[in-house]
Structure 1
Amino acid sequence: MPKLANLQLGQKFTLLLLLVFLGGIIASSIALSSVLNRNAQAQLTTNALMLMETMNSVRDYTTNQVSPELTHRLETEFLPETVPAYSAREVFETFRGNPIYADFFYKEATLNPTNLRDKADGFEAQLVENFRQQGTAQETSGFRQTPAGDLYYIARPIKITKASCLECHSTPAAAPASMIERYGASNGFGWQLDEIIGAQMISVPAEKVLKSARQSLVLILGIFILAFSVATLLVNLWLKRYVVRPLNRMAQAAEAASMGDPSAEFVVNSKDEVGKLAEAFNRMQMSLQMAMQRLERYREGRRNSGDFSGK
């Protein structure tokens, strides 16, 4: 690699721009990637929270509207439609029936559920354990990998806060016979008041949103690189025309003047620093010519006076 001092002015300027560009592209890509990822996560969070609150509304409607209307039947038979968790899950499964939303998931993941479809998997069980250990945590979120692709989830602890919940989940003997007949007596019992028994989870597909963020990053960086390339080309053309070429002409004129060419002249085409430098060279050349003329007249006078020493 040639030494910096051996590079031409245009090459030095291009190298400087390249270094500035590389630093700028690295810093801007990191900052832009962070901003786009935050925006993508904010969009995912908004979608997930909207669905979560919708499911909570279904739960509230089931508790306040559906269950009271079916109280007389609950005395003789178990109706899962009166269970808020069951209603919310069924409504969401209907929602997922639309192919557009097939990759959205809702689950009240429970360590010891009555309905085994609510059984927490390994990942969900760890979230429940985290809620139990933290005690006061109200919500957690993040990304998880599944066969359906990357999902963004929001999870909230499910805590037994009402003694009425234990009517069906304390012991098999206390539970309605119709519930035992439907789900069996092996699961969903032994719950305790104020115990965190599961996690309410909503999961939304993240791949499309994250892919869109990555595409935006590539597009913006591509525009930035293109703009820099054009700017570098224009700067080099300008530098060559208004700086390098005038300096080369001045160098040639200075070379000619040093060889004694009295017609050598530094052309002044501008009023900038390069033009001022050319004017200074012209004044220096005129001063040199005047000095040479005075010296020649002095020598001529000495010769005419008979002094041929040449001193």
Structure 2
Amino acid sequence: MLKNLKLGMKLNLILLITFLVIVTVNGFILSTVLQSNAEQEVTRKALVLIETMDSVRDYTRLQVNPELADRLEQEDQFLPQTVPGYSAREVFEYLRQRDAYTDFFYKEATLNPTNLRDKADKFETAIVEDFRKNPDLKTKSGFRSLQSGNLYYVARPIEIKKESCLRCHSTPEAAPKSQLATYGRENGFGWQLNEIVGAQTISVPAGRVLADARKLQVLVIGILTIGFLIAVIALNLFLKFAVVSPIKEMAVWSREVSTGNLNTDYEHQANDEIGVLASSVNRLKVSMEMAMNMLKKNPPA
């Protein structure tokens, strides 16, 4: 079958096979690299958000809490606005109202929280335990599966670094009365200084991470495809005008010579391989012409 194909078809077939191999191999590599880059970009943005939430926590602890601390003993209901974690969570919910952050979720997953809204689930508990076992581990990220879909998460440990944090979390006796009235005496106590009690987690649907990677992958493969098509067109034009057309002309000229028309030479201006071939057939024509003249002068007996 290949013997019957013309040069152009053979060239295009070779180019197509080469292109498919390159796209397959590079597509796999590209997919891995782009997904890694997409994860890094989401991680970078998540870490910036966590740093922002830390600033909210510090503001609440240093400025809001001192202003409302006395009311914690006087009010019947606890004022959650005095809790840094509560402020961070509320601020993030306002941030999620912006289109760029709608898909982001923030939680301060805690092993023994005062507010059960912050209770760590089984997966989050494993993350917190990893931080507790490895104090040098500052960031953890990856994918987790939920019934609602897969999530990509970024987590950082929550460590008790200030004595002031223990007012509400050391013992029920030391806690404000309003806290006990609102949340009871069972949860959120027994914390210790320098203890890792939870993890700040920011998560985003995994589909968003993978979608960003796929968009870039499709874009790059699209550019490669356009480049391949341009190369195929350019090579086919070159093959047609620099190789195929001169060979066809030479074939027509050779047929004329074979029928006895020895009055013309085949002309090819370029000094490339086709030019060398043209010189050779011209010499062959001259040799044939000399042989014909010799036969005319000395016909066989």
TM range (shorter): 0.7 to 0.9
Q: Are residues 95 and 240 of structure 1, via their aligned partners in 2, closer, same or farther at CA, if it must alter by over 3 Å?
A: closer
CA contact (8 A) 2:35 2:209 kept: no
> Could you say which residue in structure 2 is the equivalent of 1:89?
89
After TM superposition, the score normalised by the length of structure 2 is 0.84
Matched, 1:73 2:71: yes
Aligned AA (2:84): P
> Could you say which residue in structure 2 is the equivalent of 1:191?
191
Cα-to-partner distance string for 1:86-116 (whole Å, 9 max, x where unaligned): 2212222333355764432211101111100
In 2, distance between residues paired with 1:98 and 1:222?
32
- Matched residue of 2:112: which SS? coil
After TM superposition, the score normalised by the length of structure 1 is 0.81
| Superposition map of 1:80-119 within 5 A | 80-97=80-97, 101-119=101-119
Identity %: 52
Q: How far has the Cα of 1:293 moved from its partner?
A: 1.5
In 1, distance between residues paired with 2:72 and 2:128?
31
Q: How far has the Cα of 1:157 moved from its partner?
A: 0.9
In 1, distance between residues paired with 2:73 and 2:175?
12
Aligned AA (2:215): Q
Aligned AA (1:263): L
- Matched residue of 2:191: which SS? coil
Q: Are residues 98 and 284 of structure 1, via their aligned partners in 2, closer, same or farther at CA, if it must alter by over 3 Å?
A: closer
| Superposition map of 1:145-156 within 5 A | 145-146=145-146, 150-156=150-156
> Could you say which residue in structure 1 is the equivalent of 2:284?
284
In 1, distance between residues paired with 2:73 and 2:118?
25
> Could you say which residue in structure 1 is the equivalent of 2:6?
8
Q: How far has the Cα of 1:156 moved from its partner?
A: 0.7
CA contact (8 A) 2:69 2:82 kept: no
What CA RMSD, in Å, does the superposition of the two structures yield over aligned residues?
3.0
In 2, distance between residues paired with 1:102 and 1:278?
71
Q: How far has the Cα of 1:142 moved from its partner?
A: 2.6
CA contact (8 A) 1:138 1:157 kept: yes
In 1, distance between residues paired with 2:263 and 2:151?
77
Matched, 1:50 2:65: no
- Matched residue of 2:298: which SS? helix
- Matched residue of 1:189: which SS? coil
Matched, 1:21 2:19: yes
CA contact (8 A) 2:143 2:150 kept: yes
Q: How far has the Cα of 1:31 moved from its partner?
A: 4.7
In 1, distance between residues paired with 2:36 and 2:30?
10
> Could you say which residue in structure 1 is the equivalent of 2:172?
172
5+ residue gaps, structure 2:
none
Q: How far has the Cα of 1:177 moved from its partner?
A: 3.0
Q: Are residues 103 and 226 of structure 1, via their aligned partners in 2, closer, same or farther at CA, if it must alter by over 3 Å?
A: closer
5+ residue gaps, structure 1:
301-309
**Which one has a bigger Cα radius of gyration?**
1
- Count of matched residue pairs: 298
Cα-to-partner distance string for 1:61-84 (whole Å, 9 max, x where unaligned): 111111222333344455332221
CA contact (8 A) 1:253 1:264 kept: no
Deviates more, 1:71-80 or 1:127-136: 71-80
In 1, distance between residues paired with 2:191 and 2:4?
82
